[in-house]
C-alpha cells in the first residue's frame, strides 16, 4: 500500500515535500467514524499531548492523501515515530469524492488524554488550511483547548 492519510502537521504539502520529496499529495478526504484527539502528554515527556485519531462513530477527520514512494516510506516511518514505537501504522478507508481509498495512518501507541500546546495546535490548523480543509473544520480545530495560551495574532 502506498497511500498515506495525514491528519496532523503532515497535512501541509510543503512539510511533506521536505520529508518525502518523491511522494505527491493526490487529494483530500475524510476518515469517517474517527475523531482527532491528543495523547501521550505524560508518557512521552513532551511539552503537551500529540495528535492521534481514535474510532468514534458519527465523527470524522479531514485528511490529505499522499502517494508515498518506497524511497520515502522508511523516512516517513522514522519521522512519524513508527520506528521508535511511539506511533503504529493502521490501515483505514478514506472517503473521497471519487470513492473510498485504502490508506495508512499513524496512530499513537498510548492512551488518549492531555492537551496540546497552543503552538502545536496552531501548526496543525495551519497545515489543515494549507491542505484545503473546510472553514468549519478549521474553526473547530482552532477553538480546541490548549495547555498554554494561544499566540497573539
Q: List residues forming the annotated binding site for substrate.
A: 4-9, 120
Within 13 Å and on the Cβ side, how many CA atoms surround 22?
10
Q: Is 112 a catalytic residue?
A: no
Nearest to 53 by CA among 17, 87, 98: 87
Alpha helices in the chain (DSSP H): 13-19, 41-44, 70-79, 118-131, 135-142
Nearest to 9 by CA among 147, 128, 133, 151: 128
- Residues annotated in a binding site: 4-9, 120
Which residue among 41, 47, 78, 80 is the active-site one?
80
Angstrom distance (rounded) from CA 98 to CA 106: 23
Catalytic (active-site) positions: 80
Amino acid at each position: 500500500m502506498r497511500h498515506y492519510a495525514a491528519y496532523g502537521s503532515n497535512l501541509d504539502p510543503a512539510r511533506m515535500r521536505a520529508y518525502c520529496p518523491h511522494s505527491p499529495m493526490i487529494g483530500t478526504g475524510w476518515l469517517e467514524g474517527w475523531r482527532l484527539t491528543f495523547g501521550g502528554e505524560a508518557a512521552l515527556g513532551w511539552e503537551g499531548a500529540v495528535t492521534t485519531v481514535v474510532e468514534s462513530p458519527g465523527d470524522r477527520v479531514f485528511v490529505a492523501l499522499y502517494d508515498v514512494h518506497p524511497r520515502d516510506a522508511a523516512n516517513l516511518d522514522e519521522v512519524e515515530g513508527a520506528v521508535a514505537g511511539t506511533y503504529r501504522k493502521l490501515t483505514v478507508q478514506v472517503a473521497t469524492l471519487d470513492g473510498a481509498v485504502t490508506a495508512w495512518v499513524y496512530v499513537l501507541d498510548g492512551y488518549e488524554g492531555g492537551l496540546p500546546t497552543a503552538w502545536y495546535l496552531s501548526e496543525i490548523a495551519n497545515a489543515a488550511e494549507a491542505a484545503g480543509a473546510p472553514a468549519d473544520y478549521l474553526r473547530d480545530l482552532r477553538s480546541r483547548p490548549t495547555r498554554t495560551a494561544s499566540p497573539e495574532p
